Every structure is written in structure tokens, then in C-alpha cells.
């Protein structure tokens, strides 16, 4: 009878950790992708107009203030669905992470006009009209921010893929080490089994059964730990958009996301069986 109880603790806890880390990496990748997609969908049609000295009069424009002149231009242009003038409190809230409250009181903040457009072809005309009105009026196109941010998020996805790959490599090495140790401990028993006519395939199946049972329990335990962690993080860190709208990220997971997460704990026992079978055959053929 093969003595394999000693590897249960070593292999079990290592594989529990690997499954947990793999699930956290995959889940974090989904979280970052969903966060970016939600932010992008919420702001891709938004344009913010910065109007310095909004109360300054423009003599060449019926003595209107800068802000009034900007609003007149916006109302004459097509493809603008919504116009919102941000209140001072909203502006201070936006830049409060970058400056102290006392400093904000001494700064003449520009007026911010947020518009939502349904056709980006209107932007060149808008920018030209506003520049003619006052050269220091700045048009912030939120879509341009996506170019840099998308690179950051795609880089994060690649990092998570690399982490999962590294975790899988560590898991494979741990399984091979456990098999090597088990063969060394059971060297005499295996020799007796060979003398009794047992084939390498029979011995390999015994190791595979042991590894499958250990990794199945480890995967279940690691998945439970990861699920608890996701639940805590989902309740602690909501994705807040403008207007303090909170998005439940777990509710945004689609079927493909859930299938991928479920496949992680399922794949590790199957991977263990495959690696164990190959390792046993190779190590028994080359005992030295």
C-alpha cells in the first residue's frame, strides 16, 4: 500500500493558496475591465468646457458675460443633447483631492460647462467658435483620455495573465515535487509492487487518484476563500462615478466571466491528474 498521507498537508495548502491567488488575479482582471468599461460608457460622450473669468463682459458680443456667450454658442450648435453648468460645490468636490479647502477659497475657479454630444463631428466647430470668443477657453474631450487609460488597463490585464501563468507554473512544480517525494518514500513498496506484476500505469493511477482528491478539496476551499474575499471587496469598494452613482460589479459579470471563474478551481485538479501521470511515468522510467 502506497504511503501518501504525508503529502496531503504540503500539497493541499499549497494548492489552496494557488487556487485562491489564481481566482483573485482573474477576478481582479474582470473588475478592472468592468470598471474601465463602465467609466468609458458613462463619459465617452461627455465634453467639459472650462471658462476662465466667467463673469467677464465681452464688448463685441452684446456685452454678454463669457459664460452667457458660451451658452449661446452651445444652443446654436446641433448634436448637443444636454448642457449642464456645474455648481461651485461640484467643482470644488472634483478638485478637492488635489488641493486643500483653504487654497480653493483663494482661487478664482473657472466655470465648467458639461455637455453630452451624439456626434463627435461637432467638436471642431465648437472648439473654433469658442477660441474665437476667448482664446483661453478650454474644451476637454473625455474621449482623448481613453487612449492613455486604455493602455494602462490593457497592461493590467496582461499583468494579471502573467500572474495566473506564474501561479500555474508554481502549482505544476509543487505537484511534480510531491510526486517525486512520494515515489522516494514509497521506493521499496513500488519495487515490491513491480515484482508482483504491477505496471507503471497502475502506480500512476494510484498517485493520480490521491492528487485528484487532495486538489479537489483544495480547490473547493480556495474557491470559498476567494468568494468571501470578493464579497467583502465588493461591499467595501464600489465603483463611484460622477454623481456618486455606485455600480455593483459582481452584478455586472456576464456568463463568460462566471464560467471563467468556475473553470479555475475545476481546472487545477484536472491539471494535477495530468501532471501527476506524466511525472510518475517519467520518474519510474528514469529512477536515477
**56-111: per-residue pLDDT in tens?**
777 665 667 777 877 887 787 777 777 777 766 666 666 665 555 565 566 667 77
Lowest mean pLDDT segment, chosen from 17-21, 158-162, 240-244, 263-267: 240-244
Per-residue confidence (pLDDT) for residue 143, from 0 to 100:
65
Per-residue confidence (pLDDT) for residue 167, from 0 to 100:
92
Q: In 10 A of CB 175, how many CB atoms?
A: 27
Per-residue confidence (pLDDT) for residue 88, from 0 to 100:
65
What pLDDT digit, counting tens, does each position of 124-166 carry? 777 777 777 777 777 777 666 666 666 677 777 788 889 999 9
What pLDDT digit, counting tens, does each position of 13-43 carry? 889 999 999 999 998 888 777 777 776 666 6
Examine the pLDDT at 240 and tell me if it is beyond 60: no
Work out the mean pLDDT of the chain and round it to a whole number.
77
Give yes or no for a contact between 109 and 52, defined as CB atoms under 8 angstroms apart.
no
Examine the pLDDT at 262 and tell me if it is beyond 60: yes
Cα–Cα distance, 113 to 157 (Å, whole number): 34
User: Domains in the chain, please, with CATH?
Assistant: 6-41+146-285 (no CATH), 53-136 (3.30.70)
Give yes or no for a contact between 142 and 47, defined as CB atoms under 8 angstroms apart.
yes
Cα–Cα distance, 53 to 67 (Å, whole number): 8
Per-residue confidence (pLDDT) for residue 224, from 0 to 100:
94
Amino acid at each position: 500500500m502506497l504511503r501518501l498521507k504525508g503529502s496531503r498537508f504540503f500539497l493541499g495548502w499549497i494548492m489552496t493558496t494557488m487556487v485562491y491567488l489564481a481566482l483573485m488575479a482573474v477576478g481582479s482582471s474582470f473588475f478592472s475591465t468592468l470598471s474601465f468599461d463602465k467609466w468609458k460608457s458613462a463619459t465617452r460622450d461627455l465634453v467639459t468646457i472650462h471658462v476662465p473669468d466667467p463673469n467677464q463682459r465681452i464688448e463685441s458680443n452684446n456685452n454678454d458675460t463669457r459664460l452667457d456667450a458660451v451658452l449661446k454658442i452651445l444652443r446654436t450648435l446641433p448634436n448637443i443633447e444636454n448642457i449642464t453648468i456645474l455648481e461651485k460645490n461640484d467643482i470644488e468636490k472634483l478638485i478637492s483631492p488635489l488641493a486643500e479647502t483653504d487654497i480653493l477659497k483663494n482661487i478664482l475657479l473657472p466655470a465648467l460647462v458639461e455637455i453630452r454630444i451624439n456626434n463627435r463631428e461637432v467638436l471642431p466647430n465648437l472648439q473654433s467658435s469658442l477660441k474665437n470668443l476667448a482664446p483661453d477657453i478650454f474644451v476637454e474631450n473625455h474621449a482623448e483620455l481613453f487612449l492613455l487609460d486604455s493602455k494602462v488597463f490593457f497592461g493590467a490585464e496582461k499583468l494579471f495573465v502573467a500572474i495566473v501563468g506564474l501561479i500555474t507554473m508554481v502549482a505544476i512544480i509543487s505537484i511534480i515535487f510531491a510526486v517525486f517525494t512520494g515515489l522516494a518514500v514509497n521506493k521499496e513498496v513500488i519495487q515490491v509492487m513491480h515484482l508482483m506484476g504491477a505496471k507503471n500505469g497502475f502506480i500512476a493511477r494510484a498517485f493520480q487518484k490521491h492528487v485528484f482528491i487532495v486538489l479537489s478539496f483544495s480547490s473547493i476551499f480556495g474557491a470559498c476563500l476567494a468568494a468571501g474575499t470578493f464579497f467583502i471587496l465588493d461591499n467595501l469598494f464600489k465603483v463611484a462615478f460622477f454623481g456618486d452613482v455606485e455600480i455593483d460589479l459582481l452584478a455586472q459579470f456576464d456568463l463568460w466571466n462566471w464560467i471563467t471563474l468556475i473553470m479555475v478551481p475545476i481546472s487545477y485538479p484536472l491539471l494535477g491528474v495530468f501532471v501527476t501521470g506524466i511525472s510518475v511515468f517519467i520518474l519510474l522510467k528514469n529512477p536515477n
